[in-house]
Structure 1
């Protein structure tokens, strides 16, 4: 009975996405989009376009006034979303709409302050009702994450931790120990903020191998994010990692097109990334 309950949790849908991709001999593609950018209705359409184009999991950016880990592109998107009146409740309404029109697992990517202010348990309950399968909170250290991880687990969600390349080995080991079933580890390709780059860091493969040394035998997938942009990046990264996250490049692309052409542009771009897998 316990196993059956595990199989139907929101987090189990993340596990299933990695499992299906592995069976197909490819990596998992995880696009990131800011909810509310360029406006609320359009952001929902763009998310659904990525699902149609082959996204395996989708990160839904939750705008925040002081996004420390975000580069200029995503900071701008979050600022616009907030200026247009995006709130946590409206964010969840859009997530609920997306979940009703797509079976791709959704992950909240957002900062801790709005979660804490809303109430940790209350937030996780609302997130589950809204179709959210997991949470990434870049400014929440694992050492201080016990309350959120407990609430997320209670509602069947995964709390996903980030590991940058400067992380000491003992801290990697601790994060691996904290990572629960149905989750994955987000390996940050470089130290610093988000933003598309032309080339992958030379240390990236050895960094992933170092983390893999601690996850061996634990069935914890590793996804790489920060700086990925081209189909070549995706093809290269997924030879040694289980998934690839693309964010700033998608937001940049939105800015290059008028609203009536954005859905097609994003769909074609994500399809090109998916094809590289």
Structure 2
């Protein structure tokens, strides 16, 4: 469903826009309001972050949001239960961004079953290398949940080919070397890097990490299939700043 949702947007000449939100930041009771509002303003899919005590990929904005969510008592189980409570109202595919330990503690098969009931159509596990994917892959496959791979700027050609072949739904193309967070500058060779990724892939390629302005969205939309925006969305939600969010989404339209 994720790939189809992105391809539908591309067919209209637009680019995919996927906001990242931290589940439980502001309380789990805010999750329904946020997701329904995001789909109302035209996002393609929503990446739902699961708070974790030791996040390796998160910059300060998302790490602090995760800490607030954990202080609110948020768990993977409570997030999935909350999402399931209004799943019939969710019209865009959800992607869970979580780390491996919470899934192992949950049980792979049980997690996959509950995730499907919660409207999750894809999973990103940044601390799980491709070689370890069998830990979870069959359980996800059983529920038709895509296992999305991240590809870094430093990945050699052979590694890109392996990751592109294994990724489902879309490729998460990391646009910076380092952790998440708003940036003002990006590497000059990005366009050539994305050309390599698109040549290696049969599924959409989305850009993520550091994208924080409408200008960034338009820049990446010119050579990718869409963008994932995290820290800026998290900041805007904290400040109830929907004007900023709407401007970012609008920048992905033709």
Deviation at 1:98, TM superposition (A): 4.8
Deviation at 1:70, TM superposition (A): 0.3
Per the alignment, residue 150 of structure 2 pairs with 162
1:142-165 CA-partner distances (Å, limit 9, x unpaired) = 111123122111111100000010
1:208 to 194, 214, 238: 194
Cα RMSD after superposing both structures:
1.3
1:178-257 equivalence runs, <5 A: 178-180=166-168, 183-215=169-201, 218=202, 220-255=203-238, 257=239
- The answer to whether the 8 A contact 1:36-1:81 is kept is yes
Give the TM-score taking structure 1 as reference length. 0.87
What is the distance in 2 between the residues matched to 1:115 and 1:26?
34
1:1-277 equivalence runs, <5 A: 13-180=1-168, 183-215=169-201, 218=202, 220-255=203-238, 257=239, 262=240, 265-266=241-242, 268-277=243-252
Q: Which runs of 4+ in 1 moved over 3 A?
A: none
Q: Which runs of 5+ in 1 are unaligned?
A: 1-12
- The answer to whether the 8 A contact 1:55-1:270 is kept is no
Deviation at 1:22, TM superposition (A): 1.2
Deviation at 1:81, TM superposition (A): 0.5
What is the distance in 2 between the residues matched to 1:231 and 1:173?
31
What is the distance in 2 between the residues matched to 1:244 and 1:97?
28
What is the distance in 1 between the residues matched to 2:216 and 2:84?
31
- The answer to whether the 8 A contact 2:206-2:225 is kept is yes
- The answer to whether the 8 A contact 1:200-1:233 is kept is no
1:47-87 CA-partner distances (Å, limit 9, x unpaired) = 22211111110000001000010001101011111111111
- The answer to whether the 8 A contact 1:53-1:270 is kept is no
What is the distance in 1 between the residues matched to 2:24 and 2:86?
13
- The answer to whether the 8 A contact 1:54-1:270 is kept is no
What is the distance in 2 between the residues matched to 1:116 and 1:49?
32
- The answer to whether the 8 A contact 1:196-1:227 is kept is yes
Q: Which runs of 5+ in 2 are unaligned?
A: none
Q: May I ask how many residue pairs the two structures share in their alignment? A: 252
Alpha-carbon distance change, 98 to 189 in structure 1, aligned in 2, over 3 angstroms: farther
Alpha-carbon distance change, 98 to 239 in structure 1, aligned in 2, over 3 angstroms: farther
What is the distance in 2 between the residues matched to 1:238 and 1:140?
28
